[in-house]
Structure formats: C-alpha cells, structure tokens
Structure 1
Amino acid sequence: MAFEIGIYSFGELTPDPVTGEVRTPQTRLREFIEQSEVADQAGLDVFALGEHHRADFAVSAVPVVLAAMATRTKNIKLSSAVTVLSSEDPVRVHQQFSTLDLISDGRAEIIAGRGSFTESFPLFGYDLDLYSELFAEKLDLLLAIREQNPITWSGRLRAPLFDADISPRPLQDKLPLWVAVGGTTASAVRAGTLGLPLALAILGGAVNRYAPLVQLYRDSARRAGHDVSALPVSINSPGFVAPTSKAARELSYNYFNRGMLENFHQRGKGFHTPRPAYEAQATLGGGLFVGSPQEIIDKILYQHELFGHQRLLIQLGYGGVPQKDMLKAIELLGTEVAPVVRREIAAREAAQSNAKVTR
C-alpha cells in the first residue's frame, strides 16, 4: 500500500490557556466536520476520532460524527481511534461501522483497543477486573461477524448467537480492522498472531525503543503463518505543524500542556509537561511530531527507517488549538508534507525491490 498520512482527535474540551474559554460540544463537532473537509481537499488519507464518555470530551458516538463527515467528504478514510471494544457490543460496532461504510461509499475503518480511559466500563455495566478478557472475547466475536453472516457463536462473557443475521453488511468485502497497541508486548503478539494490522501509539519517549515491539509483532505474525508484507503498521502520535519550527512550538505547547493537565486525569491528577521536555520530544528521536513541514518530513522518514510502517496518524493540536490554526496545519500536512513523504518512501521501496531482483 502507498504510505498514508492522516490525523486524529479525542475531541477534548480543554479550557483555552489564553482566554479560559471552553468550546461547547456542538462547536467542537462542527469544527471536526470542517476539518474533515479541509483534510479531504488537502489530500490526507485518514481522519479518525477517539471515543470517550466524559463531560470534558465531545465525542462519545464516533460513528455518528464520522457519518456526518462522510456526507461532506469524498476520498478520505474515516476511522475510530479507538473503539473501546471491551465495553462495546461487537454486533452494534459492526452494524454502526457497516452503516458508515455504506454512507461513505466504502471508506469506514475500525481501530479497536482495550482503552486507556476506563469510564465506559462502569457506565455500560462491565467489570474492570475483566479488562483483558472482555477485549479478547469481543475481538473474537467481531472477527467472526466480519467473516460470515448469519453467524453462530458462543463465548463466556456474552450471550451466544444462534444463526444470527448481523445487518447491514458493509460495502467493502470486510471492514478494515486495526488493533490499537499502547506498548504492551502481549497486545503486539495478539495482533500479529491474529494477522491484524497494528496501530501503535507513541505518546512520548525515545521512539527507537518501540522498534523491538514492531519486530515482535511481525515475528508473531510470521510464526502464525501470515504474510507479513500484507500487514500494515500505523504509528499514531501527537503533534502540530506550522510554517516554522518556532511557530509550531509556540502555537501548540500551551494547549498540549493544558490538555495533559485537564483531560488526562482518568487515573488521578493530570500531567504537567515542562516546556524543555516538550521541545526535546519534538526533536528527531522524540515522540512528538511538532515542527515545520520539513521537520515533520524528516521525522516521518527517520521513523520509516526504524519501523518500515505504512501509515502515520498525528493527533493534531491536542488540547484544542484554535480552529483557524488547525485548518492551516491540516493544509500544510496535506499539501507540503504528504506528497514529499509519499514520493520519498515510494522511491526507497522501489530501490529495495530492484536490489532484491539484481541479487
């Protein structure tokens, strides 16, 4: 597949660090629809939204928002980031994203994960002590639904299905399904063993320490008999792009820091990010994609050498960067970054392919 670049958001409702204003959920959702239009026109490949169930986030019904985007876009893929499958019903997940697929003419995707935010478990009546078991069983059911209809299935934690008709079916032969991994080896092994694409979240730290995890994923897939070359890897990281390095950092830092303080407190208080640490993470070997278009290009190509991945999704403007700056960033990413990256990676892959032929 050609290298893909996209953006994602969790829909956080963060107080503006300058004005103190908090956007309403209605405003935030309308902003996303406008962002998806600009991203589509700029040539980006994916727009993804994360699911949360708290008052400081605007998006709890991801397929509904993506369906609204589908009516205003033509080419961009529309995905969750992530669907918290452990506290969802796989039947409804498949129905909702199949409906999105029909509305969007075959552009729906699912990124499924266990969820780092846990408010959905008590909300929908699930036991957090079964955090991992719920995900494993529900992923099994979702995969079974993708493969056949009607379906007969039984598990331990959900009522069985007997010759059940799961409709509608998607326009695509199968809904693309990625497994989200936050750095745990067991999750990477599971994705590889099942032969599912890997969506790896890198939220900070030195990126080279994640290379063994990607290799473990591919080794697990190979041992399970899957064609590793057919299994894409996505790197998902926060970031922001502006015409200059200074502008990118100045625009985004206060919003990012406020977002980490205000919206990342599900397991206690939020996290303060000192400015020097933010700057360090924006360097070539750090986990944040913050900088000028050329810096973002250089960083993508550097990471491609580490991971050999096929997709990058940037959590653009985390903390609620103002809409006018977001739209400019989306345009830069689509018109100045993406074409160069696609061209350079295609040239690399062609050279590698030619080298193999001449051996």
Structure 2
Amino acid sequence: MTISIELGLDTFGDVTAAPDGGLLPHAQVIRDVVAQAELADAVGLDFFGVGEHHRADFAVSSPETLLAAVAGRTRRIRLGSAVTVLSSDDPVRVFQRFATLQAVSNGRAEVILGRGSFTESFPLFGYDLAQYETLFEEKLELFAALLTGGPVTWQGRTRAPLTEQRVFPSLETPLTTWIGVGGSPNSVVRAAHYDMPLMLAIIGGDPGRFRPYADLSRRAYAQAGRPVRPIGVHSPGYVAATDAAAREELFPDYKRMRDRIGAERGWPPMTREEFEQEADHGSLYVGSPETVARKIAATVRMLGLSRFQLKYSAGPLPHDRLMRGIELYGIRVAPLVRALLA
C-alpha cells in the first residue's frame, strides 16, 4: 500500500554564524530565512514552518509577518507557524493575523497552536505562568469558535467576553489549524475534541515511544464519531553528502544550541556519544540523503503519519550549509522517502 506523505521544513530562525566567526544580526537572519523558504518552494517541498520565540538566540518573534513576505516570493508551498504560543497571545489577534496570511498566500496558510516549551513570552506579555494550563484551554476554545466564521459569543476567565462578535478579515477558505503536542495525552485528546490535526514534537529519544499517542489520537476521533485527522511529526535533523560529513558539520553547532538551552533547564552538557545515539536510534535525522530518507520513512510507517517536518536549523549552523541541506532534502530525500513508502 502506498502511503501519501507531505514533507516539510521548520526553523526557529536560529541566529547563525557570520563568515568572520561571529553571529549575524537578527535582521540578516530573518532575511536569510526568507531565502531558505524560497529555496524550499523551488525544490518542491510541501510545507515551510517558522516558530515563535522571544529570546536572543532565535530571530523570529512574529512568524506571520515573515511568512507574509515569503508568500509574495513563493508559489505553491504551504506556510505556517511552528509553533504559535497561543497561551500568551490573544486568540482574536492570532486569528486575524493568520486570516490575513491566508488571504495574501491564496489559501496556503496554516497555524500550529501550542503552549510553548519556552516561557519567555509569558512575562513579556504580562501573563501568569501559574495559569499555564488554563490560558491554553480557554484560548483554544475561543480560537476554535473563531474558525467557524460566524458571530462569536464566548466567556472565560483569561480575557474579556465576546457577545455576537464578528471578527475580520473573514476566511475565504478554511484555515488548517494543528495542535502541537510535546507528550501530553490530554493534549492529544484535546486535538480530537476540536477536530484538529495533531503535530507531535519529537525532539529526542526513540520516535516509537510516541506510538501510544498516535493510537490514542485515532481512538479519540473514532469515539467522537469523526473521521481521523492527519498526524504529523516535527523533529530535528541535517542533510549532507555523506553520513560522516553530516555528523561532523552538525555536531559542534547542535551541541552549542543544546548546551545553551540545557544550562537553563538543568541538563548536563551533550556528549558526542549522546549525539551519536540520537543519530543512530533516536529522533535526530542526520546523515546522507539515503540515511535520512530511510529514517523518515520508518517513522512515517511506525506512527502512521501524514506529514513529517524536519527542523533543519541548529544553533549557529551557517546559512550556506542550511541552504545546501534544504536543497538535498527537496531534491534527493523527498523522492527517496516517497519511493520507500510506495
């Protein structure tokens, strides 16, 4: 049986290395991300996602604005967030921004809604982390109501109520809305409750450990009496000409990123052995086109996926290497994955 799969790319706009060994300014990184998205479209990929962060090591804090620029310079690729931190934003404004992106892209916009594994946006926008769960639950409820297109009446504890409120611009075509999940069964069931596809963020360990979440999602849709919606996966990786080249090129910058974040969260520094373990048996898709394709195809079959999104940027990994990796992913990895799944 042939499995149909969409293949995409994600980036958080990691601040990359300059030719002199320093770091590029945020403005240049943002312009480089636009160029990376253009290339992803040119090599035939299905999706390009940009994540939202509010910290010095990631340049993108407004994915919709960047994606609107990309929309004017691409033709077919779908464009979305990866992820939008709904908990610390206003659902009405999120809807309006993505409805605008949907219009300027001629229906190519998507949004992946999540609670966010980074919490800098909460104090920045004046939200209490003690309300972490409540904020997401209530705002998702309101966002789902906005997607229906009619006047909205809603009341909760985290924002002002709405009564028969119209919100503009109106959607010309439906806005694909995913729920991003990092490992919570409740979030998996929540996606089915709102009839939204599920995006699993698998950033470490054996991807097979997420099989129960994929199975739970399908059971939840069946119990709700709805057709099963797509399941996608977002995982990190890097493609180069050979396995050895990919690992040698990626490791130093991947370690810098991992150790920087790990220092904030109490993780020990990453060893080369841990990196190799993730590359061999975990959720790091690094290697030659053939190696990466085989690993993606195995994950697609194991979890029953409809989409796989590779987080192709990693810390200061330079722009020229990112561009080469995107080209290899589109021209060589994508056809190989589809052939393996045929």
TM band (smaller chain) = over 0.9
CA distance in 2, matches of 1:99, 1:128: 30
How many residues are paired up?
A: 340
Measured in 1, the distance between the counterparts of 2:250 and 2:187 equals: 31
What SS is found at the alignment partner of 2:75? coil
Distance 1:84 1:190 in 2: 16
Residue 131 of structure 2 corresponds to 130
Q: Which residue number corresponds to residue 326 of structure 1?
A: 322
User: 1:281 maps to which residue?
Assistant: 278
Q: Deviations over 1:241-278 (max 9, x none)?
A: 0110011111111111111123455x545652211211
1:45-68: CA deviation from partner (whole Å, max 9, x where unpaired): 111111111222211111001111
SS of residue paired to 2:328: helix
Structure 2 letter corresponding to 1:92: R
Structure 1 residue 194, shift from structure 2 partner: 2.5
Partner of 2:208: 208
Deviation at 1:86, TM superposition (A): 0.5
Q: Match for residue 340 of structure 2?
A: 344
Distance 1:131 1:15 in 2: 34
Alignment of 1:304 onto 2:306: no
Decide which of 282, 286, 290 is 1:290's aligned counterpart: 286
**Match for residue 261 of structure 1 among 250, 259, 262:** 259
- Map of 1:43 onto structure 2: 44
Contact 1:101 1:108 in 2 (8 A): yes
Tell me how large the CA RMSD over aligned residues is.
1.7
Distance in 2 (alpha carbons) for counterparts of 1:271 and 1:25: 28
Partner of 2:66: 65
| Distance in 1, Cα, partners of 2:262 & 2:38 | 28
Distance in 1 of aligned mates of 2:45 and 2:301: 22
Q: Is the CA contact (8 Å cut-off) linking 1:152 and 1:163 kept in structure 2? A: yes
Q: Give yes or no for contact 1:14–1:258 (8 Å, CA) kept in 2.
A: no
Structure 1 residue 126: Cα displacement: 1.1
**Contact 2:16–2:319 (8 Å) recurs in 1:** no
Q: Distance in 2 between matches of 1:154 and 1:181?
A: 25
Secondary structure at 1:106 match in 2: coil
1:318-354 per-position Cα deviation (integer Å, ceiling 9, x unaligned): 1131111111111111111112222433x3xxxxxxx
8 Å contact kept, 2:15–2:24: yes
Cα distance 1:288–1:125, how it changes in 2: closer, same or farther (>3 A)?
A: same
Aligned equivalent of 1:197: 197
Give, as a single letter, the amino acid of the residue that structure 2 aligns with 1:312. Answer: F
Does the 8 Å CA contact 1:262/1:270 hold for their aligned counterparts? no
Measured after TM superposition, the shift of residue 19 of structure 1 is 6.0
Q: Tell me, in whole angstroms, the C-alpha distance in 1 between the residues paired with 2:272 and 2:11.
A: 22
Contact 1:109 1:176 in 2 (8 A): yes
- Tell me the SS of whatever aligns to 1:53: coil
Distance 2:318 2:124 in 1: 31
Show CA shifts across 1:5-49 (max 9, x none): 111111222667x96511110110011010011100001111111
Distance 1:74 1:271 in 2: 44
In the alignment, structure 1 residue 247 sits paired with structure 2 residue 249: no
In structure 2, the partner of 1:272 is: 269
Aligned position for 1:89: 90
Secondary structure at the aligned position of 1:152 is classed as strand
Q: For the residues of structure 1 that align with 2:258 and 2:297, how far apart are their CA atoms?
A: 28
The percentage of counterpart residues that share the same residue type is 44
Give the counterpart letter for 2:275 in structure 1.
Y
| AA aligned opposite 1:8 | D
Contact kept in structure 2, 1:12 and 1:263, CA below 8 Å: no
1:166 matched to 2:164: no
TM-score, normalised via structure 2 length: 0.95
C-alpha separation between the residues in 2 aligned to 1:15 and 1:36?
19
Residues 212-267 of structure 1, C-alpha deviation per residue, up to 9 Å, x if partnerless?
Answer: 11111211121111111xx11111001000110011111111111111123455x5
Q: Which amino acid aligns with 1:61?
A: S
AA of the residue aligned to 2:6: E
Q: Partner of 1:43: helix, strand, or coil?
A: coil
Letter in 1 for 2:126: G
Amino acid at match of 1:299: K
Counterpart residue type for residue 190 of structure 1 = R
Which whole-Å CA distance do the structure 2 matches of 1:59 and 1:317 have between them?
A: 13
Aligned to 1:236: 234
Is the Cα contact below 8 Å between 2:262 and 2:269 reproduced in 1?
no
Native 8 Å contact 1:194 1:221 kept in 2: no
1:191-226 per-position Cα deviation (integer Å, ceiling 9, x unaligned):
123221110011111121111111112111211111
Q: TM-score, normalised by structure 1?
A: 0.90
SS of the residue corresponding to residue 282 of structure 1 reads helix
